[in-house]
Chains A and B, each alone.
Chain A
Amino acid sequence: MNAIEVSQVSKSFRGIRAVNDLSFTVGTGEVFGMVGPNGAGKTTTLRMSMDIIKPDSGEIEILGEHINEESKNRIGYLPEERGLYRKITVSESLTYLAALKNMKGRPVKDRTAALLERVDMVQHRNKKIEELSRGMSQIIQFIATILHDPELIVLDEPFAGLDPVNTELLKGFILELKGQGKSIILSTHMMNQVEELCDRVLMINKGQAVLYGGLGEIKSRFRNNSIFLECDRIPDELPGVIGRKAHGKYIELFLDGQTPPFEVLAALVNSRSTINRFEVSTPSLNEIFIQVVKEG
């Protein structure tokens, strides 16, 4: 059973295609990154998956079935446009939101206490949300998302507006949830966070999938066969090197595509030059994205 299966989904607003014939699958237990610039259609896709808006065409299955009242209880969704009741206390808000996921009584109390303890906010339990700082209230929103122990967790731009400390806190949570076998979708326009956390990636631009697959596989596909080298003396003859380009402190060597990088390293070691940096260049997701969009 897959966590999410989206097949050939399209959605238009006022004649503009927000999502165009999009298909992808999120496997159980993986962290799935959904990346793309603002306005690419990420939020629309997630809202359709959460049954908040209906697709014009196409099929979406969540946890192996069409979304229904029961399956909604097994999903935790942190929307991009998010907030909490300002006039209600933290624990009241959490209790209500958990009740809407059909979780009541003792388990809610225990889990709320445990999670607040974990983020060191037990003392704010009876404060109104409006009394908390922005970062704190975002952490509370995240707790509301996972309070009912969902199997599938959907996070839309979860790091937006968080300071470094809270960002690390949230990353820790995500990895821990992954360890518990939860399926997680992470939607963001910050590619470095995807590189850090995700197993597989869907890249969207203008409502269409432009890249889709395992993170490592995508990266090796876009490797441009070059090496970054910083050393005191470079031999004139190196195996498989067909071009050089100076970048100030370091030099970029272009390979012929047949020679593996370690042969170049071996030749350098034999030449007894002092090597400060030897790096097989893999483009960042950011660079890949810009490249793909330009080509498209």
Chain B
Amino acid sequence: MKKTLTILRHEFRQTLKRKAFIIMTVALPLVLMLGYGIYQAVQHWHEPSEPQEVKIGYVDEAGGFDKYTTQQDITFILYPNEEKAKSALLDSEVEEYFVIAADYLSSGRITRYTTKSEFEVPVKIWSSIEDFLLSNLLAEEVSPELLERAKIPMQLNTVELDESGEIVSAQDDVTKAILPVVFGMIFIFAIFFSSGFLLQSVSEEKENRVIEIILSSVSSRQLLAGKVLGLGAAGLLQVAIWLIAIKIFADAASVNIPALSNLSIPSSFLAWGILFFIMGYALFAAIFAGVGSLGSTARESQSLSGIIVLPSIVPLWFSYFIISNPESTFAKALTFIPVTAPITAMMRLSRDVLSVWEIVLSLTILALSAMLAMWIAAKVFRVFLLMYGKTPSLREIARYVREA
């Protein structure tokens, strides 16, 4: 037990020092920060010097446009003729000016003069000139409500119906689903990273030939337990860092990015997610530890593990289908196959369609298969850690496991 702890601590520390681990752990918070930063920068670029008041000059040839000269934070300043307006622009008294043509009512003609070159009229300036014109045209004719409605005639909301007229999914659900899906992916990646590191740590010790020295100090069972727990702890740390990063991002984003204002994570999802992470990790860790002991070199073991990883990422290939059809038979079936269960369950959890009995059954299947895999891994470990040369065939492995 004491030695298991020693191994646990050693593996945990060594993993934390691995470049790949550090890069993967920091990458997600970095991407989020970068994304948020770019969003903010773009926002500011669109609205330069936001808090500062913008002054726009105008010449009223049509007449009657002399009120409501403050719209949003833009102030409109009337000039008696174009020469005055132009010299005000050149003296930087105003940012720009426009001329309301004498035949405005029939033509709607407005000519805008600016010293900046731009691809299109900035949205804010466009809408405040519109508001300024509308207010002057209608304020004395209609009620304030009607004026507001005329300024923003609709708030569009689209609902999709299926053949029987039921609502398929309210569109704003998508933003609600984004975060859980991201979470699911995080747990999946963490499982694969941690068990991948385990594979590496086992096969490196074998390749370095340090394994026999270790096995003369501890039993193969202690070694397996220490490694699985140590790398599991590193995986949990990684998940924790990612979760905190996402939480910080989500809090900031829901306040500052209107499209993401609905971001929220059901806490039950988090709890189940961590359980699926632990069970899924236990299963893959056992498999990868066994595989890691088979090859003579780390590279060999790595390529062997590819064969095992292949079926387990089936849910990732069909992730779009599973997320959009979480109740399909296909998705349900994958929930109960050990190697595909953690990923599929996580995806379906994120759509909130997993019933409690499905969760319990899936977790039970995972736990049982993880125990079986551990039992086999311990035997494979003991037999093959000291065998070099040709990678054994499946039949040889089966025979040794029976005999060991």
Contacts and interface: CB of A to CB of B under 8 A. Distances in A.
A77 B210 contact: no
A86 B200 CA distance: 13
A79 B216 contact: yes
Contact of B216 (A77, A83, A86, A96): A77
Contacts, number: 67
Contacts of B125: none
Interface string B1-21: 011001100100010000000
Interface string B202-221: 00110011101111111100
A53 B382 CA distance: 8
Interface residues of A, number: 28
A88 interface: yes
Interface stretch (A97-105, A229-237, A263-271): A97-105
A97 B386 contact: no
Contacts of A47: 212, 386
B16 to A, nearest CB: 13
Given A88-B14, A100-B6, A83 B208 contact: yes
A47 B382 CA distance: 12
B229 to A, nearest CB: 15
- Specify which of B209, B215, B216, B219 lies most central, judged by the most chain A CB atoms within 10 Å of its CB: B216
A53 B216 contact: no
A247 interface: no
Given A100-B6, A102-B2, A82 B213 contact: yes
Contacts of A141: 213
Interface in B110-147: none
A75 interface: yes
A50 B2 CA distance: 20
Contact of A97 (B14, B208, B215, B217): B217
Interface string B149-162: 00000000000000
Given A72-B217, A96-B10, A102-B3, A83 B210 contact: yes
A136 B139 CA distance: 92
Nearest to B226: A100
A110 interface: no
B388 interface: yes
B386 A81 contact: yes
Contact of A75 (B205, B210, B216, B219): B216
B210 A100 contact: no
A144 interface: yes
Contacts of B382: 53
Contact of A100 (B7, B204, B212): B7
Nearest to A129: B208
A1 interface: no
B2 to A, nearest CB: 7
B226 to A, nearest CB: 10
Given A77-B216, A81-B209, A145-B213, 18 more contacts: A50-B215, A51-B219, A52-B386, A69-B3, A69-B218, A69-B219, A72-B216, A77-B212, A77-B213, A78-B213, A82-B209, A83-B209, A85-B204, A85-B205, A86-B208, A97-B213, A99-B10, A100-B7
Interface of A: 47, 50-53, 69, 72-73, 75, 77-79, 81-86, 88, 96-97, 99-102, 141, 144-145
29 contacts: A47-B386, A50-B216, A52-B386, A53-B386, A69-B3, A69-B219, A72-B216, A73-B217, A79-B209, A79-B212, A79-B213, A79-B216, A81-B209, A83-B209, A83-B210, A84-B210, A85-B205, A85-B210, A86-B208, A96-B10, A97-B213, A97-B217, A99-B10, A100-B3, A100-B214, A100-B218, A101-B217, A102-B2, A102-B3
